Amino acid sequence: MSHSPALLKTAVLQATKTNGDESQAEFSEVSSLSSEPIISNNNSSNGSNDMITTTIDSSTTTTTVLSEGRPAVEKTQTTSTTISESHTTSAHQVHKKRRLLFKARMSKFDISNPETSSDPFRGFFTLFWLVMAFYVIQTAIRCYEQEGVILSLGFFRLFSKDGLALLVSDMTMVATTMCSVVFSKMLMLGIIHYETTGWVIQHVCQTVFLFFNIYWTFWRDWPWVQSGFFTLHTIVMMMKMHSYTAFNGELSIKYRRLKSLKEYIPKWIAEHKDDHADNRKELEAMESEVAFLQDELVQGNARYPDNITFANYFDYLLVPSLVYSMEYPRTEKIRPWYVFEKTVATLGSFLLLYITTERYILPKLYDPNTSDLRVSIELLLPFMTNYLLIFYIIFECILNGFAEISRFADRNFYDDWWNSITYDEFARKWNKPVHHWLLRHVYAQSIESYRLSKANATFVTFLFSSCLHELVLVIVTRRIRMYLFVLQMLQLPLIMIGRHPLIRKYSMVGNIVFWLSMFVGLPLLAILYCREAFWSDAIFGTHIHSQ
């Protein structure tokens, strides 16, 4: 199965039923520019044999599967063939749609990127880091003059508390996700059918996984840094588990269907030796489906179910992508100097993050004598600095580091989100791994599985994302306030405003509004969540008393 768009010749089976039990099939050749299947489930129980429908959206094919020992064709309003399997009990649809395209790309701030050396703004990138270097020197001098030390260790004592337990807990949490391999193997063997009980078991296990780790966070009573890290990593692992299991679960359906057809076709040929036109068309229908299913089970040099191994899953854990694929584009080798450069960049950027948080953010949040307005103004630059540093550490340093270790070649982890004029553009560009996961497993699934409109699917996607964001802050602050949830959902009307022709015409106005909201929003959230928690909650008392 190719990752690149290609002209896919497919046969569309147009079915009509005659005399109640005799069926005729007519084929027509069509072309599809989509080579990326997206799988969707539509589960319904009717008390009889399961109706399994294979359709391919947007000029794609429909083919037949077995029904009580022979192909079943029913009249439909669209170019799709209804197929029934006697051993299943709920409806399930498989749609061929676009799969996430992976290709070799470099991140925009990567110094080894050839485009960086020719970028007319490359001097500003150099200037930024020079300013940051002088910022560290100036802060160290000021800290030494005021406190007699170059760097205060109060914040360090906070986030290093119970560090060994955090490390063991995190490694155990990651290790438990290996059960996805065993579960996928059971789906492949037919022990569990994904279209009936498999997807239910999958979601139950993911829910238990998430909330058990949340319970563990509360039980350990970690400070806010450890709680936030562990919760975020748990959510990331849950996303990876879901993508891996959903992908292999859908392929298990096609795999079992392919095996059934291969077993049935020789028997059918033996029973239909006459060269009747209807028999030829029926045989062509089954052979066409076999070819389609065989193509679906192959991706580059990888083939299902050979990909269901612990080694493949471990490789997937290292790959900085939340969307599973049997095969990713790879670099030729690991460059030790590149890993070293990203390690140094991570440590240096974290030092800047530490200094900004320790010297310019926490003292303001801990001070109850300063008005909220004054705190908001004084936190504008520190919070924006931290936001940019966190973005750089995660998306440029850490993800590129893991990409180099796993030889993952597609390093387009972000686009030019700083030029955004609308919030939907920002959502698409600033965190592409999460965006791709939401697009594939929430937005597309809402449309395919639950027949939602695009507008409703967008709402569901924002709702899901907002709930996860709020969940993290609930765990960090030990309070349910819903401020971030409301602000996240307010992006929907802001997106509609951003699509106004006036904003589109004057893109600079949209970009100014975007940056103003970013500058104001971060300190506002800090005041709404952190100040109340810092003043009254014991989980932050460790740092206060360590000053």
Helices (H), 177-223: 179-189, 199-220
Q: What is the pLDDT of residues 150-178, one digit of tens each?
A: 888 888 888 888 899 999 999 999 999 99
Known catalytic membership, residue 436? no
Does the pLDDT at position 72 exceed 70? no
Cis-peptide, bond into residue 114, ω within 30° of zero: no
Average pLDDT rounded to a whole number, residues 361-384: 84
Between residues 364 and 401, the one the model is more confident about:
401
The mean pLDDT of 242-269, rounded to a whole number, is 92
Nearest Cα to Cα of residue 543 among 217, 149, 139, 156: 156
Asked if 525 and 519 touch (Cβ cutoff 8 Å), the reply is no
Instruction: Give the range among 126-140, 262-276, 340-354, 381-395 with minimum mean pLDDT.
Output: 262-276
Smallest Cα–Cα separation from 313: which of 407, 404, 243, 387?
A: 243
Compute the distance between CA of residue 428 and CA of residue 437 in angstroms, rounded to an integer: 11
Asked if 117 contacts 126 with a C-beta cutoff of 8 angstroms, the reply is no
Q: State the Cα–Cα distance between residues 499 and 422, nearest whole angstrom.
A: 7
Instruction: Report which of residues 319 and 477 the model is more confident about.
Output: 319
pTM of the model: 0.79
Question: Residue 69 class from Cβ within 10 Å (0-12 exposed, 13-18 middle, 19+ buried)?
Answer: exposed
User: Regarding predicted confidence, which is higher, 212 or 497?
Assistant: 212
Mean pLDDT of the chain: 79
Higher pLDDT residue, 235 or 501?
235
CB 14 within 8 A of CB 75: no
As a whole number of angstroms, the distance between CA 99 and CA 512 comes to 35
Residue in the structure block whose two tokens are 């690149």: 4
pLDDT at 235 over 60: yes
Q: Is the pLDDT of residue 10 over 70?
A: no
Q: Which region among 10-19, 223-232, 272-281 has the lowest average model confidence (pLDDT)?
A: 10-19
Instruction: Let me know: does 244 contact 316? Beta carbons within 8 Å.
Output: yes
344, 211 contact by CB (below 8 A): no
Does residue 26 surpass a pLDDT of 90?
A: no
CA distances from 34 to 213, 390, 430 (A): 39, 36, 26
Q: Which residues pair with 94 in a beta bridge?
A: 54
510 contacts 503 by C-beta, under 8 angstroms: yes
Tokens at 22, concatenated: 């005799």
Distance, CA of 54 to CA of 257 (rounded, Å): 11
Cβ neighbours of residue 89 closer than 8 Å, sequence gap 6 or more: 45, 49, 50, 196
DSSP 78-134: SS-EEEEETT--S-EEEEE-PPPPP--B--TT-TT-HHHHT-TTHHHHHHHHHHHHH
Banded pLDDT at 363 (limits 50, 70, 90)? confident
Q: Angle 500-505-508 (CA atoms, 0-180°, nearest 5)?
A: 105
Q: Where residue 419 falls among pLDDT bands split at 50, 70, 90?
A: very high
| β-bridge mates for residue 206, sequence order | none
Other beta carbons less than 10 A from residue 413's beta carbon: 21
The number of C-alpha atoms within 13 Å of 184 and in the hemisphere containing its C-beta is: 25
**Chain position carrying tokens 């004054």:** 374
Q: Quick one: pLDDT at residue 146? A: 85
Q: Is the pLDDT of residue 248 over 90?
A: yes
> Six-digit token pair at 517?
């909201």
Tell me, what DSSP letter sits at residue 273?
Answer: -
Tell me, rounded to whole angstroms, the distance of Cα 130 from its chain centroid: 35
pLDDT at 500 over 70: yes
Asked if 297 and 254 touch (Cβ cutoff 8 Å), the reply is yes
State how far the Cα of 294 lies from the Cα of 257, in Å rounded to an integer. Answer: 10
Choice among 469, 500, 543, 545 that is catalytic: 469
15 forms bridges with which residues in the sheet? 25
At 82 the pLDDT is 33
Cα separation, 246 vs 202, in Å, equals: 8
Task: Considering only residues 106 and 2, tell me which one the structure prediction assigns the higher pLDDT.
Answer: 106
437/14 Cα distance (integer angstroms): 34
- What's the gap between Cα 322 and its chain centre? 4
Residue corresponding to tokens 């009936």: 196
pLDDT reading at 359 higher than 70: yes
* Domain layout of the chain by residue ranges: 106-151+332-413, 415-433+470-547
For the ranges 26-30, 131-135, 244-248, the lowest mean pLDDT is seen at 26-30
What pLDDT is attached to residue 57? 35
Question: Does 396 have pLDDT greater than 90?
Answer: yes
Which tokens in the block code for residue 294?
């065989």
Positive or negative: CA dihedral 220, 221, 226, 231 = positive
Average pLDDT value for residue range 59-75: 34
Contact call for residues 486 and 400 (beta carbons, < 8 A): no
Q: Would you state the structure tokens that stand for residue 265, as one six-digit string?
A: 């076709």
Rounded to an integer, what distance in angstroms lies between the CA atom of residue 380 and that of residue 365?
A: 13
Q: Which helix (H) or strand (E) holds 340?
A: helix 336-356
Taking residues 94-122, what's their average pLDDT?
77
